[in-house]
Structure 1
Amino acid sequence: MIAKKYSASQYVKALRTLYKRLPKNHPKFFKIKNEFYQNQAGEIGEEAVMKVLEKLKLPYKFYVFHNISLYSDTLFQMDIIIITPYYALIFEVKNINGEIIFTDQQLLRKLETGESHTFENPVLQLEEYEYQLIQLFKSIGISLPIYSAVVFAFTSSYIKVAPANKALIFRRGIKPFIRSINVGLPILTDSQLDSLKNYLLKNNKDFQPFPLINYFGIEPNSLLKGVECVCGYIGMKKVIRSWYCPACKTYNKNAHESTLKDYFFVFKNTITNQECQQFLLLNNKHEASKILRNPLLISTGQSRNRKYSLINGKEQPSFSKSNQT
């Protein structure tokens, strides 16, 4: 049973915004670009693996969690964890194409072009997750065996040198691998398993490095401003009751909504009327006031000192019912 279903992370969505708005000559452009594409690829792989697990059937109760972060000795984030009355199983999912070589400390990838890249060794990541999970279980009086495996989501990965001391499987091997795990007498009752499920969900701590310009140390004035069109053009023109895109020649009355969402996760967790005018490239304060008059925003202060923020800063808002200008 899926206890925490697959969901795209707000971090990757915000990374895309930062990458799109960062000039190519910015000294951190390629760092942000690589961070975005690596995380995006990771999510694609995790989604593919979760689709397999959604169809998993076992002769005993189990719960599957996607992208869960817990605090033990330190904060640790697991791509996928499965808990059962007999064991816990951690998957570290990889979506890396090319020729793969595992070394003691790194994962090396070589492309057909001859280009090579290095990544963190997922075996070392799993060893750390196992240790942290053991400590967490001890703190709540649970003693479950913990297994782990590196999962490659797609066959575009060719494993030339596999890890010597860790299971490595491809997506189609997930179900046979899980069914091959030997189980004896259950360690947890179904009721205790339910309690553990609820504990993990309650104590999940989402990765929230927002606003991203602070996290990456980027000056806000270095980023492109303006409303983004669905075609990718940034800088739509405000017209009466709508927005016009000079690139694709289309109108969209709600185009500002996604850009305003992006602001809170990339630039700042509060916004003033003047900042709204500057960021959306509006013509006057009245247009900004209508856009900021939204039930999902809370205001503090009066007059020129008034600031707006999300009612719940951890969730991406929906502005579908916002006032139009």
Structure 2
Amino acid sequence: MILLARQPSDSQKILEAMLQRLPQTHKEYAYVRERLGRVKAGLAGEQRVDAEWLELDLPTPHYFLHDFQTMNDFGSTHQMDTIFLCPHFLLILEIKNITGILSYDASYAQLTRTTIEGTVEGMVDPFLQLERHVAWMKKLLQRERFHLPIVHAVVLATRNGILTKGFEGQPIFHVTGLRSCIQRWTEMYQPVKAETLLPFATRLLSMHTRLKKEMTVPFKEMMKGVVCPHCGNGQRLQYHYRKWTCPRCGLVDHNALNRTLEDYRLLVGPQLTNRSFREFFAIESPNLAYKLLQQLPLKAEGEKKYRKYWIID
């Protein structure tokens, strides 16, 4: 059972919104586009591993939490690509969609890859990331007085990532190795009572929180208004006769308000006023802004000029 489904992350949505609102001549445009490409590739890798699970004969009951995010007691964040729970064990996966020749030096905690062009790139040590997540999970299990063995691994989502000898002894394998690892761990650990698993999985789910992402470009440098999703480069839609229309491509966007409200949530935050709404949506008339605000899924607080609105998730 999937308790927490995988979805495009807020990081991806923020980058997409930024790319729509940055002029192509902006100094950060190329970086944002490249970063978005990496995030999308990461999601594609995670979805490749998700598809592999569908072909496996898994212990029952079992529960998945994908893209689990939470904060520890010290205010630091934890983001786990997949948590899999079954009566035999709890598995934490770090999924990598990396191509090239991969090398690892445990003494320096250093992961590098050599691209097909011969460029050597340094990368974050995924094993240290996993060990940190495991330590947090162990403390949670102790606090909840629930015993379940924890296993962890890095999964390569593409066969074009070539592992070298430096990875010997490390918990890493290609996605096709998931089947044999699940079987081995299932045989290795005695199961707990099946009915005790769901309460802990539900407890984990209750701790999931969407972590705030920081933007790399100041919002003031982005284009305002309701932008055309087809034309890009900040092309604004025009509002006439209760319709948002693109003067360039002729698109009539019936979802323009809600789509732009989501941009506001990602780039500004969950709170609006009539003034901030007009500034972001590039609307001059306070009366028109008020009418449009009534069409949106918002919670209003206060009266008249002191009124504030909150975006409802």
TM, length-normalised to structure 1: 0.83
- The 8 Å contact of residues 156 and 174 in structure 2, kept in 1 or not, is answered as yes
Counterpart position of 1:94: 96
Offset at 1:37? 3.2
TM, length-normalised to structure 2: 0.86
Identity over aligned residues, as a percent? 26
Question: Structure 1, residues 82-102: CA drift from partner, whole Å, max 9, x if none?
Answer: 112221111100112222222
Aligned pair 1:143/2:147, yes or no? yes
Cα distance between partner residues in 1 of 2:182 and 2:189: 17
Cα distance between partner residues in 1 of 2:216 and 2:84: 36
Cα distance between partner residues in 1 of 2:187 and 2:71: 28
Cα distance between partner residues in 1 of 2:29 and 2:140: 38
Question: Structure 1, residues 32-73: CA drift from partner, whole Å, max 9, x if none?
Answer: 445433332222211221122234323443222211134555
Cα distance between partner residues in 2 of 1:178 and 1:256: 46
Cα distance between partner residues in 1 of 2:145 and 2:182: 25
Question: Structure 1, residues 208-254: CA drift from partner, whole Å, max 9, x if none?
Answer: 34xxxxx3475432111121223142222222222222332322243
Task: Give the match's secondary structure for 2:121.
Answer: strand
Counterpart position of 1:44: 44
Offset at 1:79? 0.7
- The 8 Å contact of residues 16 and 36 in structure 2, kept in 1 or not, is answered as yes
Counterpart position of 1:179: 183
Cα distance between partner residues in 1 of 2:183 and 2:78: 27
- Mapping 1:217-232, distance limit 5 Å: 218-232=217-231
Offset at 1:150? 0.8
Counterpart position of 1:323: none
- RCO comparison, higher one (Cα < 8 Å, 6+): 2
Counterpart position of 2:80: 78
Identify which range, 188-197 or 25-34, moves more after superposition: 25-34
Among 188, 200, 207, the alignment partner of 1:203 is 207
Counterpart position of 2:250: 249
Unaligned runs of 5+ in 1: 210-214, 316-325
Cα distance between partner residues in 1 of 2:125 and 2:198: 33
How many aligned residue pairs are there?
Answer: 307
Counterpart position of 1:194: 198
Partner amino acid for 2:48?
Answer: A
Cα distance between partner residues in 1 of 2:189 and 2:265: 50
Identify which range, 129-138 or 103-112, moves more after superposition: 103-112
- Mapping 1:253-264, distance limit 5 Å: 253-264=254-265
Unaligned runs of 5+ in 2: none
